[in-house]
């Protein structure tokens, strides 16, 4: 596909830990499955990596009832971290990732500090090179947000994960806070190598119909994603970049090439594409191609030069 100019490295200059990406486009957790579910739709070489579906220690069935609710400009999900569990992932999914040479971030979530510590230790044992820690899922009953909205708790959690894991550590932050800066500072000080943001916003979908002289109502409460949250994501990334020096992977409403430039302008170092994959399974291929063509047309030799130009102008 000729995307060599998109190769980039996420570098934590404090400890020289790095993650090399073929392109800055990453398939976001929960939208790309575990391994190669999108292989029929796109050339996986357009991706710098995929972030796996969130993995917990034990298999989780997820939430019952309605899990998806479409809204204007996006969707609300309450999947509830349904997943196969770490042991099944290691036995069935990891070998396929290695066989197909697919770069990935192992996305993990837990209900307790001990859950995260054990998952980190397992990832370290299996030499998984990049870990994305979900402390920001709004549609599970315990864990995640309980850690992700308290800077002190987040610092302690990240520090314990760091102690158990030697690879490239990414912490995924929640936007469901009045001020994201203390959270970003906490994870950097605790030893994270990178931040990804933002996860979904809390939202409520309401469906009202009048049938047979009676109102029929349905509500779905969960995580709001899609193009409708892009202004919030841009604001949050700009706030994070004011207080940290580690790289930031930006996500939240990216649907077109112009969005990539906007996120670069506020400090992004790479991108995750989530909800847009459900609308257009080929979007990551298209974005990578458009980004590469833009750089070639405008004489940017590589992605770092483009990033430097847009962030320094």
- Whether 73 shows a pLDDT value over 60: the answer reads yes
* 72 occurs within a structural domain: no
Place of tokens 């994270």: 192
- Whether 161 shows a pLDDT value over 60: the answer reads yes
Residue range 223-253, pLDDT digits in tens: 999 999 999 999 999 999 999 999 999 999 9
Average pLDDT of the chain is 93
pLDDT-based confidence at 144, cuts 50/70/90?
low
What 3-state class would DSSP assign to 208? Answer: strand
Residue range 187-214, pLDDT digits in tens: 999 999 999 999 999 999 999 999 999 9
* 147 occurs within a structural domain: yes
- Whether 11 shows a pLDDT value over 90: the answer reads yes
Q: Looking at the 3D structure of the chain, how many domains does it have?
A: 1
- Whether 139 shows a pLDDT value over 90: the answer reads no
Domain that holds residue 169: 4-62+80-201+225-312
Cis bond upstream, residue 173 (ω within 30): no
d(CA 250, CA 261): 11
pLDDT-based confidence at 39, cuts 50/70/90?
confident
Q: Is 228 one of the annotated active-site residues of the chain?
A: no
* 210 occurs within a structural domain: no
pLDDT (0 to 100) of residue 137: 57
d(CA 3, CA 285): 10
* 69 occurs within a structural domain: no
* 217 occurs within a structural domain: no
d(CA 19, CA 22): 10
d(CA 62, CA 223): 14
Residue range 273-291, pLDDT digits in tens: 999 999 999 999 999 999 9
- 313's CB contacts (< 8 A; 6+ apart) are none
- 211's CB contacts (< 8 A; 6+ apart) are none
- Looking up residue 236, the CATH number of its domain turns out to be 3.20.20.70
What are the backbone angles phi and psi of residue 91, rounded to the nearest 5°?
Answer: -80, -35
Largest Cα span, the chain: 67
* 155 occurs within a structural domain: yes
Count CA atoms within 13 Å of residue 230 on its CB side: 21
Comparing C-alpha atoms, which of 162, 164, 170, 104 is closest to residue 136? Answer: 170
* 209 occurs within a structural domain: no
Selected catalytic residue, list 137, 194, 228, 284: 137
């Amino acid at each position: 596909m000729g995307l060599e100019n998109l190769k980039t490295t996420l570098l934590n200059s404090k400890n020289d830990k790095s993650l090399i990406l073929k392109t800055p486009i990453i398939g976001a957790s929960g939208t790309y499955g575990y391994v190669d579910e999108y292989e029929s739709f796109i050339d996986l070489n357009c991706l710098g990596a995929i972030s796996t579906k969130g993995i917990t220690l034990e298999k989780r069935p997820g939430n019952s009832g309605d899990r998806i609710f479409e809204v204007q400009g996006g969707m609300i999900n309450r999947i509830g971290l349904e997943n196969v569990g770490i042991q099944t992932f290691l036995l069935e999914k990891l070998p396929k990732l290695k066989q197909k040479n697919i770069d990935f971030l192992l996305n993990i979530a837990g209900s307790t500090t001990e859950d995260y510590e054990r998952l980190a230790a397992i990832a370290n044992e299996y030499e998984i090179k990049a870990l994305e820690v979900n402390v920001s899922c709004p549609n599970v009953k315990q864990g995640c947000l309980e850690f992700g909205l308290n800077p002190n708790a987040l610092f302690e959690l990240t520090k314990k994960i760091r102690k158990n894991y030697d690879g490239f550590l990414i912490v995924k932050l929640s936007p469901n806070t009045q001020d994201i800066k203390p959270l970003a500072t906490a994870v950097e000080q605790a030893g994270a190598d990178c931040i990804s943001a933002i996860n979904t916003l809390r939202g409520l979908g309401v469906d009202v119909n009048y049938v047979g002289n009676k109102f029929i109502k349905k509500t779905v409460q969960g995580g709001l994603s899609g193009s409708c949250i892009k202004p919030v994501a841009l604001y949050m990334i700009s706030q994070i970049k004011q207080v940290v020096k580690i790289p930031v992977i930006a996500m939240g409403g990216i649907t077109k090439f112009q969005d990539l430039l906007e996120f670069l302008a506020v400090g992004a170092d790479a991108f995750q594409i989530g909800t847009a994959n459900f609308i257009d399974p080929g979007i990551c291929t298209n974005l990578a191609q458009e980004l590469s063509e833009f750089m070639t047309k405008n004489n940017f030799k590589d992605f770092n030069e483009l990033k430097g130009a847009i962030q320094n102008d």
